[in-house]
């Protein structure tokens, strides 16, 4: 599931000792395992081998150029949500002809940019956007390849901030209105109706909502193929990962001790249910995984600065903050917290692990039993490969962290730590 493990009491990423990396490059520091990314991509890809399919990695999960390059070389396409992401994909050697462009608020400049670079398809989220794309394409004398994003009104049973497939969410077109929209779109002069798309949410840990959504939309996709000659059906991303692996406990049975409802979705389980329901459509199937590919492949290393014992709580204050990793503050994201060097006694304490930012929401865990690490000790926040660095900011004027990619026993700096000069570089004096 991932390539982080303890060896003689020290945490390793593949063959690289993380304590050494933390000392050499300082913290906060993101470290990614290329082996984990490869294996997750390969597992997903091979589980779909019975289908004519294309993986469209969701760039927003982790958009570092080296990660994109690694995936581009494996043949991945890319699901982008801005022209900036398309720029990144191309800079990393990715093929625009394998890019799908999602998002509810594409601007004129972004649409022009994507048309110019001949992306695979726009995933359109409203009738107004469809008309806008038609108008821009017509001015450029081009035909815009388009899929309409259907909102299947399925409850993904995930955190409400990352649920996208219900009627009350801003995403997609209501299921009941989709057919009529294809009908009217078929008369637009500069639109080519190429596919249909859906994405019901992120971090889904049960296969049921996927089944429900596929069963609801597949007949519609078949009809659209017949009527409008669409070529593809993108079933979105959203496959959940395990955030709690009990790595530090040495417990190998984390999988079996979990109750059924807590078990994450496995790729085999996903493919077993989804593939047969899609095979008979005879459409190309697109998948847009983000978290599944990179989530477990990254950690955020940090150093404990202080310990503060209050009447109500004990705080362990670390040098990473919500500006480096916002998931806990934003949507109650869970990250395992483990020491880079296990202490011999394995003593634990119930604490809040908090960052240095002047916000009450700046915590990584509350009232959690963690290893009783001390000031000066290094820790890892596990499973930070997705929606970690990409959501980082310089809030509190903290420079962006560095990023490292490990390949066996080699560690490459794939992003330098931002300097203070770079942080203020684009600011100018007012006239
Ligand atoms: C964010 C997003 C994804 C990826 O979601 P994951 O949960 O990371 O797999 C896929 N498709 C669309 C349209 C998205 O917005």
pLDDT range class, residue 254, cuts 50, 70, 90: very low
Q: Please give the model's pTM, rounded to 2 decimal places.
A: 0.95
Please, are residues 296 and 36 in contact by the beta-carbon 8 Å criterion?
Answer: yes
* DSSP label at residue 259: -
Mean pLDDT value of segment 268-274: 94
Burial class (CB in 10 A: 0-12, 13-18, 19+), 413: middle
Cα separation of 75 and 113, whole Å? 23
Q: What is the mean pLDDT of residues 40-51?
A: 97
What is the mean pLDDT of the segment spanning 316-320?
Answer: 98
358 catalytic, yes or no? yes
Q: Which of 67, 267, 288, 391 to mutate to test the pocket of ligand 1 (most atoms within 8 A of CB)?
A: 288
Minimal CA–CA distance to 21: which of 342, 299, 306?
299
Q: What pLDDT was estimated at residue 257?
A: 44
- Which ligand 1 atom lies nearest to the CA of residue 202? 7
| Structural element, H or E, at residue 113 | helix 108-116
* 198 Cα–ligand 1 center, Å: 10
In Å, how far from its chain's centre is CA 89? Answer: 15
331 has pLDDT over 80: yes
Judge whether 295 and 44 are in contact, CB under 8 Å.
Answer: no
CA pair distance 26, 15, nearest whole angstrom: 19
As a whole number, mean pLDDT of residues 295-305 equals 98
What whole-number distance in Å separates Cα of residue 296 and Cα of residue 311?
A: 36
Measured in Å, residue 201 CA sits from the centre of ligand 1 at 7
Nearest atom in ligand 1 to the alpha carbon of residue 240 is 7
Structural domains in the chain plus CATH codes: 4-12+22-28+296-430 (2.40.37.10), 103-287 (3.20.20.10)
Q: Which atom of ligand 1 is nearest to the CA of 102?
A: 13
For residue 159, what pLDDT is reported? 79
**Catalytic, out of 99, 304, 358, 365:** 358
pLDDT number for residue 255: 41
Least confident piece of the model among 126-135, 237-246, 335-344, 352-361:
237-246
- Res. 248: pLDDT tops 80: no
| Stretch 70-87: mean pLDDT | 98
Kindly write down the DSSP assignment for every residue of 124-190, as one continuous string.
E-SHHHHHHHHHHHHHHT--EEEEEEEE------S-GGGB-SSTTSSSSEEHHHHHHHHHHHTT-TT
pLDDT at residue number 26:
98
Query: If you measure from the C-alpha of residue 239 to the centroid of ligand 1, how many angstroms do you get, rounded to a whole number?
Result: 9
The CA-based diameter of the chain, rounded to the nearest angstrom, is 72
Tokens for 235, please give them.
């079933």
């Amino acid at each position: 599931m991932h390539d982080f493990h303890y060896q003689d009491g020290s945490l390793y990423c593949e063959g690289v000792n993380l304590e050494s990396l933390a000392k050499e490059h300082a913290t906060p520091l993101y470290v990614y395992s290329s082996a984990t990314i490869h294996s997750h991509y390969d597992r997903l890809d091979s589980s779909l081998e019975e289908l004519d399919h294309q993986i469209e990695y969701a760039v927003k999960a982790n958009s570092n150029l080296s990660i994109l390059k690694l995936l581009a070389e494996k043949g991945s396409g890319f699901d982008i949500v801005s022209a900036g992401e398309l720029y990144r994909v191309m800079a990393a050697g990715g093929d625009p002809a394998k890019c799908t462009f999602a998002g509810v608020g594409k601007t004129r400049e972004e649409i022009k940019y994507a048309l110019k670079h001949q992306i695979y398809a726009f995933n359109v989220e409203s009738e107004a956007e469809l008309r806008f794309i038609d108008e821009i394409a017509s001015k450029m004398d081009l035909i815009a390849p388009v899929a309409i994003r259907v909102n299947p009104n399925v409850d993904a049973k995930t955190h409400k901030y990352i649920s996208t497939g219900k009627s009350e969410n801003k995403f997609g077109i209501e299921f009941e209105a989709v057919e009529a929209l294809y009908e009217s779109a078929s008369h637009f002069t500069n639109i080519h109706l190429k596919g249909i798309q859906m994405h019901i949410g992120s971090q889904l840990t049960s296969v049921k909502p996927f089944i429900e959504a596929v069963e609801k939309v597949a007949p519609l996709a078949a009809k659209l193929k017949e009527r409008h000659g669409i070529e593809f059906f993108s079933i979105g991303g959203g496959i959940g990962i395990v955030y709690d692996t009990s790595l530090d406990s040495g417990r190998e049975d984390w999988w079996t001790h979990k109750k059924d409802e807590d078990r994450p979705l496995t790729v085999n389980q996903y493919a077993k249910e989804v593939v047969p329901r899609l095979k008979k459509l005879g459409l190309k199937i697109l998948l847009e995984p983000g978290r599944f590919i990179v989530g477990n492949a990254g950690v955020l290393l940090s150093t404990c600065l202080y310990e503060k014992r209050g009447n109500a709580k004990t705080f362990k204050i670390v040098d990473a903050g919500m500006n480096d990793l916002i998931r806990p503050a934003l949507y109650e994201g869970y990250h395992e917290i483990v020491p880079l060097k296990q202490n011999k006694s394995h003593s634990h304490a119930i604490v809040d692990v908090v960052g240095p930012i002047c916000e009450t929401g700046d915590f990584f865990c509350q009232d959690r039993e963690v290893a009783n690490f001390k000031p000066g000790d290094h820790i890892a926040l596990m499973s930070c490969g997705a929606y970690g660095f990409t959501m980082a900011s310089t809030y509190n004027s903290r420079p962006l962290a560095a990023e490292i990619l490990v390949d066996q026993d080699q560690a490459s700096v794939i992003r330098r730590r931002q300097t203070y000069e770079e942080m203020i570089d684009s600011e100018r004096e007012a006239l």
